[in-house]
A = this chain, B = another copy of it.
Amino acid sequence: MKGFVIKGNICYSKSSNEICITSNGYAVCENGLCAGVYNKLPENYKNFPIYDYTDQIIIPGFTDLHVHAPQYAFRGLGMDLELISWLDVHAFTEEAKYNNIEYADKAYSIFTEDLLKSATTRACIFATIHAPATILLMEKLEASGIKAFVGKTNMDRNSPAYLCEENAAHTLCNTEKWIIDSGKFKNIKPILTPRFIPACSDELMENLSVLQKKYSLPVQSHLSENLGEIEWVKELCPDTKFYGEAYDKYGMFGNNCKTIMAHCIHSGEEEIALMKKQNVFVAHCPESNTNLSSGIAPVRTYLNLGIKTGLGSDIAAGSTLSIFKAMAMAIQCSKLRWRLIDQSLAPLNFEEAFYIASKGGGEFFGNVGSFEKGYEFDAVVIDDLALKHPQELDVKERLERLIYLAEDRNITAKFVNGKKLF
């Protein structure tokens, strides 16, 4: 017998406008996959053990599609700068410390512990340029039971000397060794991570392109986040019509290369068309985009076009690992965008935010982020008893409220791919 059952108020998205709710129902896990959600437990599962979370809320875990683990140390700090100055003053100086494996050990332990406590079951994570510290992070995550892609970042130009690999050949060699070393992990996989075009020379991009093909690796990076950054990319890549082309010319912008691009705030029509055509995933990071005064991404456009979209905490330009908070901010920012910029794009609603947080981002991991049959069995159980109310609330209302009110302390259990983490 390789299965179990969890009982509670089971909530999951089928599509961006439909949340399925089974009140005090049963979700069955068989061999790590969801075998179905039932009002009444079918006979053939009667001998499965039951975890009883009656009256609690059960959701598929969330996917954090964009998070910088080494920046977790300074979350909530240094919020008064725009992107490029913020990188120089805060992000790069902190990331340089991960050359010291003892510091990395301490910092990545804190990151992993807090990620484990959160409602996130899957994550796509930037580390630093340092391969040993990146492997250490992967070890900690593997031990936690979370499933993640982790990238040793690559950067060889326009970066401070203390956070720059010697040259493109050196970064190729380091990166390939790291990829091979990563082979030992079961749940944690490597992802190529050119930091962003301004920090990556043509030669570096060519070398990464070779590795991408050789190992069939996915790619994550940043795209069209800040107006100054976009101008800079234009100067650095005079042969490209738009930012995304600077990745695409090296075969690292979707198609046969599974790709996440974070932000996509100021993407133009051509860039958006290419993202759509080549199935690039957008990691929407509303808190980060607000904190760094970057702007508000047109998520409604991406949803309308069927562009694959998930949410990112973008620690530490975002202050919290909470994807609940990212959902709230995604809705809130979409309202301000509607009010202040473009009333042709309706704000996101609660169903849509829940969808992109779970099934939308989860798709990067395959069949993840839903309790539909055959999906990997990820589940997060939330006890909202502490959020008192004098009136009756139905399960859907209780779920909606959590977007704004949930705290990690409300999470009582977590499963990833059929394994109970706590």
Contacts and interface: CB of A to CB of B under 8 A. Distances in A.
B332 A76 contact: no
A97 interface: yes
Nearest to A402: B76
B290 A107 contact: no
A249 to B, nearest CB: 30
Contact of A335 (B290, B340, B390): B290
A347 B76 CA distance: 16
B107 A296 contact: no
Interface string A376-407: 00000000000011110100010011111101
A418 to B, nearest CB: 30
Given A73-B389, A290-B335, A336-B293, A405 B107 contact: no
A46 interface: no
B350 A79 contact: yes
A103 interface: yes
A341 interface: yes
A210 B309 CA distance: 58
Contacts of A73: 389-391
A332 B80 CA distance: 10
Copies in the complex: 2
A319 B76 contact: no
Interface residues of A, number: 51
Contacts of A409: 407, 409
A119 B246 CA distance: 49
Interface string A270-301: 00000000000000000100110111100000
The 5 closest A-B pairs by CB, nearest first: A76-B404, A319-B404, A76-B401, A107-B390, A106-B390
Interface of A: 73-77, 79-80, 94, 97, 103, 106-107, 110, 113-114, 287, 290-291, 293-296, 319-320, 328, 331-333, 335-336, 338-341, 347, 349-350, 388-391, 393, 397, 400-405, 407, 409
Given A113-B388, A296-B336, A336-B340, 20 more contacts: A73-B390, A74-B391, A75-B401, A75-B405, A76-B400, A76-B403, A76-B404, A76-B405, A77-B393, A77-B400, A77-B401, A79-B350, A79-B400, A97-B391, A110-B388, A114-B388, A290-B332, A293-B339, A295-B339, A407-B407
7 contacts: A75-B404, A77-B400, A77-B401, A103-B390, A110-B388, A291-B335, A295-B340
